[in-house]
Amino acid sequence: AKMENHTRISEFILVGFKSHPGSQVLLSVLFSTMYFVTVVGNICMILIIRVDPSLHTPMYFFLENLSTLDICYSSVITPRAALALLLGRRRISYTGCASQMFFFSLFGTTEAFFLAVMAYDRFTAICNPLLYQVIMSRRLCVLMVVGSYLSGCLNCTIQTGFTFSLSFCGHREINHFFCEVAAVIHTSCSNTLVNELVMLALCGPIIVGTALVVFISYGYIITTIIQMPSAESRHKALSTCSSHMVTICLFFGTVFFMYAQPGAASSPSKSNIISIFYTVVIPMLNPFIYTLRNRDVKGALKKQFKRKGFFK
């Protein structure tokens, strides 16, 4: 019984952002506000796409799925973090921590695959416009979304399984504001070399693979746009891609910074701040990026306002 007690602890303590008591209420308000904006913004995006038949295209099908994913992604972390900062409740149960890690990894990985799928969609639309409808069939779009989730599922099952097969002794403090894989591995009293290798072997190819699809697609897209004869067609092609390019730069930029550099896990305070960016800020910005930069969405919004009698 003593040995069992030694390896199985019932809860962890999340100590991210513990050093500034005064700023904790401010951070809590900030997290709550951003979460509210994320949910409302993404729900609006889904509704606009649903009600406007002109937006029933592969591009918006993926965008609708991205908005749903962003709500889920943010919901796994932000409300809990905001509450912990406000009330100082930093304890999280063993199972709570495992499930948070599972869903965070699931949605995070799926998002990377989604961005790659969306880049392929834009590549097909701009570089193969005549075959676009044939290639991007409804069936392929659904398969790509399901495939993204299955890849996410495979990754998070392995990551969470490996992490929680470790022994956790007396040391229960996780130097993070949520159960992030590297931060939890750090609290273990087992030898974590295998885990760190598994993490690298899984995350490395996923990040590099999805980023490669994105960069190659955009390489072709930019080349095609440059060769377009008229300035108007160039502008139109660019406007359908620019919002996606912004999202990609934000997402992959932070993820590379976080996971793809040696010793990334060794600087907790830095990784805490970067994590806020991709768990809280990006899901909030996505609907704005796509609305403000997108003529179709703005047109659909105006149409809805007119119908409701806001505009004459």
The pLDDT of residue 4: 41
Residue ranges per structural domain of the chain: 11-258+265-287
Domain 11-258+265-287: CATH superfamily is: Rhodopsin 7-helix transmembrane proteins (1.20.1070.10)
3-class DSSP string for the chain: CHHHHHHCCCEEEECCCCCCHHHHHHHHHHHHHHHHHHHHHHHHHHHHHHHCHHHCCHHHHHHHHHHHHHHHHHHHHHHHHHHHHHHCCCEEEHHHHHHHHHHHHHHHHHHHHHHHHHHHHHHHHHHCHHHHHHHCCHHHHHHHHHHHHHHHHHHHHHHHHHHCCCCCCCCCEECCCCCCHHHHHHCCCCCCHHHHHHHHHHHHHHHHHHHHHHHHHHHHHHHHHHCCCCHHHHHHHHHHHHHHHHHHHHHHHHHHHHHCCCCHHHCHHHHHHHHHHHHHHHHHHHHHHHHHCCHHHHHHHHHHHHHHCCCC
Range of weakest confidence among 5-9, 92-96, 107-111, 198-202:
5-9
The pLDDT of residue 250: 86
How do residues 37-75 score in pLDDT, each as one tens digit? Answer: 999 999 998 998 898 888 888 989 999 999 999 999 999
The pLDDT of residue 167: 84
Per the confidence metrics, is the pTM higher than 0.85? yes
How do residues 108-153 score in pLDDT, each as one tens digit? Answer: 999 999 999 999 999 999 999 899 999 999 999 999 999 999 999 9
Percent of the chain with pLDDT over 90: 34
The pLDDT of residue 6: 43
